Copies of this chain bind each other. A is one copy, B any other.
Amino acid sequence: MERQRRHKRRDAKRAPAAEPRTPFVVRKLSTFNVLSEAGLEQIEANADRILAETGMEFQDDPGILKIFADAGCDVSGTRVRFAPGFCRNKITTTAPSEFVQHARNPANNVQLGGDATVLCPSWGPPFVHDLDRGRRYASYEDFTNLVKLHHNLPWLHHSGGVVCEPVDLPANKRHLDMLYAHIRYSDRAFMGAFIGAERAGHAIDMARILFGADFVAENPVLYCVSNTNAPLVMDSHMSGALKTYARAGQPVACTPWVLTGAMSPTTVAGTLAQVLAETMAAMTLVQLVAPGAPCLMGSFASTMSMKSGAPTFGTPEAGLMVLAAGQLARRLGVPLHTVGTLSSSKVPDAQSQQEAAWGLLMSMFAGANLINHATGWLEGGLVTSFEKTIIDHDLCGKVARFFDGIDLSENAQAMEAIAATGPGQHFLGSEHTQANFMTALFRPWTPDDSSFEQWQADGSKDAAKRANAIWKEQLQNYEDPGLDPDIDAALKDYIAQRKSEKPDQDYY
């Protein structure tokens, strides 16, 4: 069986980007710190106190309670309490600080940790939205279209997971179809099914078919997001997948999802301590189950409107929390998983981009190593927008170029060009400009920089309308990376077998 077949892509057709695509962002600039040493120690002490005094619930899985008890933790019913320093010690002792998630096209392998940031598409929405058809329940056709679209976008790095929920497929089986779409239509890294041990096992089986069992035994090829049920609970849906991936050596992003005021205190400092407590407890479970298994500190902390009870995004407090989370993750020596261009807007309008730009920039300044929802999210995660995917994608390109820092080469210093041009003249025709203009400036796809008159002549289109044309063009230009026919057949067989084992259930 031919594994990891290479397919040459013709980039010329794909993207107007002048520079070759990079498989992930390499940040040459520093991170931005919002807490002092004393502040960090305070949050860490508070997290330890929460874990020691209140502890965390691990529900519906006696096996996990036994694992914690065997490790010397205080287990009472489903409540597990941890001695101060226990979790930190486990994590810092055995969790790797960086690792590679492999893609079937090795050019698309992603580094998780260090100065690398991996940008992933929208994850989880049951609806999709585009300007032509409006807001609607997502289908498997939407799902495959999104996978194909993402595959074509140069400034995204990862095929993601539930890019939308294909609610036309049965809930108990659609994970198989989603995994198939990622494997078949993209050659980038992708995420495993994240709910329950059984589905996680299916993802690992399919990865073995794709990469070979030996390779999977030795290398991360999947990525699992494991959410806690804040405050301070983990249920067996999440812990089951967590254990399964950890035992298979596959990375788990241990991610408390909190909205301040509802699932955590309404204050930033209180939320940070709780988030740190929850993620440390989950990462400790990973390390107890499989010492040395890759895991990430996850942080998905946003705010809530105390007027409507609705989640709010792109807020000052969310920015402060992700920046502090970055500092806390670095002190634990694990990569940071977080979130990107979130918005509660219903449409790809000004609100959506004010919130999106805020969110993605903050996560980048935080030194996040994987940013989920870097494109497309609308309506607090209920909708993946095709147009917003394109507009957010410009932001992905912008942050990559920005974090590349300032070129200080002799050419970039341009001292001869300045001397040769002289006062009052322009640089438009200068040799230096001619030699550098194709690469010196990043060129996003969506903005209209033309004159008002030209813009009118072009139909007075706002950014969303221009993005509508761009995603269609990108989808039309989709280049199939191909898949070895034997692997394809084996995957289809596997899926058919799994589907035949039980009746369809739960369309939602």
Contacts and interface: CB of A to CB of B under 8 A. Distances in A.
Interface of A: 29-30, 32-35, 39, 42, 46, 49-50, 53-57, 79, 135, 229, 231-233, 260-274, 303-312, 314-317, 319-320, 324, 344-358, 361, 365, 379-380, 382, 388, 391, 394-395, 398-399, 401-402, 404-409, 411-415, 417-419, 421-428, 430, 432-433, 436-438, 440-444, 446-452, 454-455, 460, 462-464, 467
A365 B350 CA distance: 22
A395 B379 CA distance: 20
Nearest to A419: B54
A269 B421 contact: no
B442 A261 contact: no
A233 B352 CA distance: 41
B270 A417 contact: yes
A440 B261 contact: yes
Task: Among A231, A233, A354, A417, find the residue whose CB has the most chain B CB atoms closer than 10 A.
Answer: A354
B358 A423 contact: no
A271 B430 CA distance: 14
**How many chain copies?**
2
Nearest to A415: B46
Contacts of A135: 452
Contacts of A306: 433, 437-438, 441
A441 B303 contact: yes
Contacts of A358: 357, 361, 398
Nearest to A460: B346
A285 to B, nearest CB: 15
Contacts of A356: 354
A414 B261 contact: no
A412 B266 CA distance: 8
B345 A398 contact: no
A432 B347 CA distance: 34
B427 A261 contact: yes
Contacts of A304: 441
A381 B320 CA distance: 31
A427 B264 contact: yes
A352 to B, nearest CB: 6
A412 B402 CA distance: 34
A379 B436 CA distance: 26
A424 to B, nearest CB: 5
A433 B361 contact: no
Given A29-B34, A442-B316, A433 B402 contact: no
A264 B426 CA distance: 7
The 8 closest A-B pairs by CB, nearest first: A270-B414, A265-B414, A357-B357, A232-B423, A316-B402, A351-B463, A349-B462, A316-B401
B419 A53 contact: yes
Contacts of A402: 316, 319-320
Given A34-B405, A398-B358, A422-B232, A433 B54 contact: no
A443 B413 CA distance: 44
B344 A406 contact: no
Task: Among A135, A265, A312, A430, find the residue whose CB has the most chain B CB atoms closer than 10 A.
Answer: A265
Contacts of A30: 32-33
Given A402-B320, A406-B324, A440 B346 contact: no
26 contacts: A29-B32, A30-B32, A79-B423, A232-B422, A232-B423, A260-B440, A261-B427, A265-B427, A265-B433, A266-B427, A266-B440, A268-B407, A269-B407, A270-B415, A270-B418, A273-B413, A312-B441, A312-B449, A316-B399, A316-B401, A344-B447, A344-B449, A345-B463, A349-B464, A353-B353, A354-B391
Contacts of A272: 406
Contacts of A231: 418, 421-427
A455 B345 CA distance: 9
A269 B317 CA distance: 34
B263 A426 contact: yes
A63 to B, nearest CB: 19
Nearest to A402: B316
